[in-house]
Amino acid sequence: MAGALLTVQDLRVGFLTEQGLVRAVEGVSFDLEPGQTLGVVGESGSGKSVTAKALMNLLPSYAQVGGTVDFDGRDMFAMAASREKHFWGVEMTMVFQDPMTSLNPVKKVGEQIAESLRVHLGRSRRDALAEAGDLLEQVGIPEPGARLTQYPHELSGGLRQRVVIAMALACGPRLLIADEPTTALDVTVQKHILDLLDDLRRARGMAMILITHDLGVVKGRADEVMVMYAGHTMEEAPTTTLFAEMRHPYTEALLETIPRIDTPSHTRLVPIPGRPPEVIEVLDGCPFAPRCRYSIARCLTNQPDLTSHGAGHLCACHAPVGTPSGTQARSANESAGTTATGLDMDQFTRNVPVADPGQSGAEG
C-alpha cells in the first residue's frame, strides 16, 4: 500500500534454545496507515507480544528474526543494525502491560518523562520538566505539577499507566504500540485508559497497534483487527467486517466461548477443547485444526494460506465460517460426530440451553 506508515512483510521470529529453534512468529504481514489503529488479538503463545518486541527492537540477542519491516520508507532492521538512536522511543514507542516495568522506582515521575525529552530532543532540564507537566495534563492526571515530584510507588495503578503513556508520547511518536495496556488494571480504570489512548491517537494523528487477548477491547476501537494463533495470522479484517462476518473458526470460537454480559446466568458456554499449543513444530497443517469444529482432512496436511474474503479481509482456513465449504465441513463433522482431527463434536452442543438471539447470529 502506498500510504502505509508501517509495512511488515513475512515477519518471522525464532528463539535459539538448547532444545532447538522455537518458532514464535511465523510469517506475519500487515500494513498500518498513519492515524489508524490495528488490533492484534491472541492468547499466550500466539506471538502477539513477540511481534511487538520485534518491532521495538527489544528481542534478546539469541532471537533470530526474518522478514522485512518498513517504516515510512526506512528499513527498520537496517536501522537496528546501525544502532539508530533516535527512532525507538521517539518515532515508535511502546506501552507495556505492567507500568512498573517501564518506570524506575527510585526516580521522580517528572525526571523520567523529562529524560527522554533531554536525550532525544535536546531540551534543557527546565524546558523538559515544563513539557513533562504538560504531558501529564494531556494524559488526564489531576494536579500534574504536584505529580512531577512524586515517585511511581506513590501513584495508583491507573495513574502509573498514564505516566507511562505520557513517557511514550513525550517525543511525539508516529506509532504507539500498546501491549495489553489495561490487563493489569481494574475494569473502571481500564476503560478510561483505552479511551485516553484513543483520544490521544486521534488528536495527534498517530498510528497505534493495540495488542490484547480480549476481542471486546478492540471492538469499536481498532480500525483493523488481526487474530493470531501459534505464531500465525489466522484472520485479518476491518473491525466491523470481522465482527459481522468472521471467516475463521478460531475467531468464531473465541467469541462464543466468552460469556457475554447481557446473556442470562447459567448459559452454557461453548468450550474450545484443548489448549493453545505449547509445543510448536514445523507444521504441515493448520495449527488450530486440533481444536477446530470445522477441520477436514486437508487441514491436517496443508497449511492454509491467507486468502481474500472481500475488501481487506484475509483468512487462513480451508473451510471458512459462513462459506459453502465451511458450512459443509461443519455439518459433515456434526453428522459424523467427530472432526478430521478426532475431536468429539458432542461437547459443543451438550446441555446448551436455548440459544439466545445474541449468540445464534455467530453460528456459521
Partner 1 sequence: MPADPNEHTTPSSRTAKYWRKESHVNVAHAARMAEPPAEPDADRAAPRRLGIIFWVAIGWILLVTTAAIVAPLLPIADPEQIGIGPRASGPTWDQWFGTDGNGRDMFSRTIWGARVSLMVGFFSIVAGFLVGGTMGIVSGYRRGWIDLVLGFVTYVMLSFPLLVLFLLVILLFGQGLWIVTGALSIVVIPSVARLARAITIVFAEREFVAAARLLGATNRRVMVREILPNVLIPMSALLLLGLGLTIVAEGGLAYLGLSVADGFSWGKMIQMGAGLRTLQTAPWVAFFPIGAMFLTVLSLNLAGDRLRQYFDIRELGIGSR
Partner 2 sequence: MAGSGTAHLRGHDEMVLRVENLVMEFPAGHHQVVHAVSDVSFDIRRGETLGIVGESGCGKSTTARAIVQLPPPTSGRVVLDPGTDRETELTALVGEDLRQVRPRLQMIFQDPISSLNPRRRVRDIVGEGLHIWAEESDDERIRARVDEVLEAVGIDPTVAANRRPHEFSGGQCQRISIARAVVLEPEILICDEPVSALDVSVQAQILNLLEEMKLRYGLTLVFIGHDLSVVRNVSDRVIVMYLGKVCEVGGADALYSAPAHPYTRVLLASAPEPASTVDGSEAAIGDEIPSPMDPPSGCRFRTRCPRADDRCTTEEPILRTLDDDHFVACHYPTAAGPSGA
* Cα gap 140→138, rounded to integer Å: 5
Binding mask 223-242 for partner 1 (x = CB under 8 A): -------xx-----------
Contact of 176 with 94, CB cutoff 8 Å: yes
Q: Tell how far CA 150 is from the center of its chain.
A: 32
Single residue of 22, 189, 300, 332 touching partner 2 by CB under 8 A = 189
**Is there binding between residue 12 and partner 2 (CB under 8 A)?**
no
**Is there binding between residue 312 and partner 2 (CB under 8 A)?**
no
DSSP one-letter code for 154:
G
**Which residues are paired to 14 by β-bridges?**
23, 64
DSSP string for residues in 316-327 = --SS-TTSHHHH
**Is there binding between residue 70 and partner 2 (CB under 8 A)?**
no
**Is there binding between residue 268 and partner 2 (CB under 8 A)?**
yes
Q: Can you tell me which residue has the cell 518506570?
A: 103
Contact of 230 with 287, CB cutoff 8 Å: yes
**Is there binding between residue 136 and partner 2 (CB under 8 A)?**
no
Whichever of 7 and 161 has its CB closer to partner 2, that residue is 161
Smallest gap from Cβ 58 to partner 1, in A, equals 6
* Cα gap 352→348, rounded to integer Å: 8
Count of beta carbons in the 10 Å neighbourhood of residue 273:
14
Between vectors from CA 13 to CA 313 and to CA 289, what angle results, nearest 5°? 55
Smallest gap from Cβ 112 to partner 2, in A, equals 20
Question: Where in 212-251 is the site for partner 2 (CB under 8 A)?
Answer: 213-214, 216-217, 219
Nearest to 261 by CA among 211, 210, 216: 216
Helix (H) or strand (E) holding 228: strand 224-229
**Is there binding between residue 107 and partner 2 (CB under 8 A)?**
no
**Is there binding between residue 278 and partner 2 (CB under 8 A)?**
yes
Candidate segments 14-22, 114-122, 127-135, 244-252, binder of partner 1 by CB under 8 A: 14-22
**Is there binding between residue 10 and partner 1 (CB under 8 A)?**
no
Contact of 250 with 233, CB cutoff 8 Å: no
**Is there binding between residue 181 and partner 1 (CB under 8 A)?**
no
The residues binding partner 1 (CB under 8 A) are: 15, 17-24, 44-45, 47, 49-50, 53, 58-63, 96, 98, 101, 230-231, 271, 273-285, 289-291, 300-301, 338, 341-344, 346-347
The residues binding partner 2 (CB under 8 A) are: 43-44, 142, 156, 158-159, 186-192, 213-214, 216-217, 219, 253-254, 257-273, 275-276, 278, 291
